[in-house]
Amino acid sequence: MLVAHHRVLRGKEHGRAKQWAVLVTGCPECGAPAEPHSCEELFHVVLALDHSRRPPRGPLHGVTVSCFLLQHPSRLPAPDRARTWAILHAYVNEGLTAVTRLTEGMRRANSHQNRAAALPDIVTGVPTPPLGPTPTAFSVTINDVAQDGTFPAVGFPERVNAWATATVAGWRSQ
């Protein structure tokens, strides 16, 4: 994405081209603008809010993390994508109650130290995780959820919903 931008700008007047190159620089994984806050910075902000455990952010913690990881898959080894994908899938299709049911099932499976064997049963009906080329842009990113960088509580669930939907759609369109 960035390479394409730079190629377009190369023919233009030098000073202005340089200014533009800074403006179009974004996250190479999700396509969000890198300024004024990088995705990494925003992720730390939302994690701190999640850990307060207060609605609306706390209950959406698993969904928030799953969206971020699937939009930044360099942080998520392929074998771990099944779980993350299943969480988002459950949320987009059936809502937060389904996510709670799923994560509780996973927790039980973990406590039996039978994680690898138990996972396929838990995620019955969920399509296999995306294995195609990794998307590099999504219609909704963490930057949209953060708004001014503070993840305002008003409208937060709706923005996370749009983020989750865009994440699933981005991977499915491969």
User: Does residue number 27 form part of the binding site for Zn ion (CB under 5 A)?
Assistant: yes
Rounded CA separation 26/157 (Å) = 25
Question: Which one among 20, 24, 39, 119 touches Zn ion, defined by CB under 5 A?
Answer: 39
Nearest approach, Cβ of 3 to Zn ion (angstroms)? 17
Nearest approach, Cβ of 16 to Zn ion (angstroms)? 27
Rounded CA separation 5/137 (Å) = 14
Rounded CA separation 75/173 (Å) = 21
User: Does residue number 164 form part of the binding site for Zn ion (CB under 5 A)?
Assistant: no
Q: Is 113 left (phi over 0), alpha (psi -120 to 50) or beta?
A: left
Q: At 26, is the secondary structure helix, strand, or coil?
A: strand
User: In the bound complex, which residue of the shown chain has the CB atom lying closest to Zn ion?
Assistant: 27
User: Does residue number 32 form part of the binding site for Zn ion (CB under 5 A)?
Assistant: yes
Binding site for Zn ion (CB under 5 A): 27, 29-30, 32, 39
